[in-house]
Structure 1
């Protein structure tokens, strides 16, 4: 399973009180359980829309890794790629900003980007 990412949400006190009531009554083990369940429910509700967007926009869903060797092969063949990820994009620490600029025409991440600071800056400039 991929890493999880911490998020923060703000709720009004009335909604939070309702969540706490459901937790107190044993419907959920804690607030986090309620929030995760709610998010999964909404994702299930919109699964078809997500699928259509992924197909239409050519997104890869999941975890995508790019390492130095793979990007060097792209550079050597003169290939530029458009990277679209819904999930986690990992660019290895041994990849530098210049290699990213030589191989990636654009990068869109709906989720989390893991890369060194130099590479993140290069990606923002694309």
Structure 2
């Protein structure tokens, strides 16, 4: 999000997170970095996360199929929501990754067409749309 609350034209490639580690764990990471196993702390943490994701890949696939979750980027356009509105449909959107609701989607259109929005990852939308969907976002 930019300072004005607008969605950036191009979605960022990653999301920044902060973690707290104990001194001993951090020391182990530093030792592995100094010994050349990893280029830096971030490299170690990304590798550890990817290893855990790979370890649970079958479980994630089963959940995705069972819950009808979209993987990756889900871009929701005004045209898509207008089509749903014309058909009298309410959308239940579930995404593991990034959801971007287009800037030209009004809060009223979002509220009239999105019954539920479950995002395991990041949501980029205007503040007005987020406020309109606040009771439907999980």
Asked whether the two chains share a fold, i.e. TM above 0.5, the reply is yes
TM-superposed deviation, 1:2: 6.4
Which of these residues, 93, 97, 101, is aligned with residue 103 of structure 2? 93
Which of these residues, 94, 103, 122, is aligned with residue 84 of structure 1? 94
Say which structure, 1 or 2, has more relative contact order (CA 8 Å, 6+ apart).
Answer: 2
The structure with the largest helix share of the pair is 1
TM-score w.r.t. the length of structure 1 is 0.97
Matching of residue 106 in structure 1 with residue 129 in structure 2: no
In the alignment, structure 1 segments of 5+ residues that lack a partner are none
Matching of residue 122 in structure 1 with residue 132 in structure 2: yes
Which of these residues, 36, 43, 56, is aligned with residue 46 of structure 1? 56
Number of residue equivalences: 126
Segment of structure 1 superposing worse, 40-49 or 93-102: 93-102
Moved over 6 A (4+): none
Distance in 2 of aligned mates of 1:123 and 1:108: 11
TM-score w.r.t. the length of structure 2 is 0.88
Matching of residue 18 in structure 1 with residue 31 in structure 2: no
How do 1:50-89 residues align onto structure 2 when only pairs under 5 Å count? 50-89=60-99
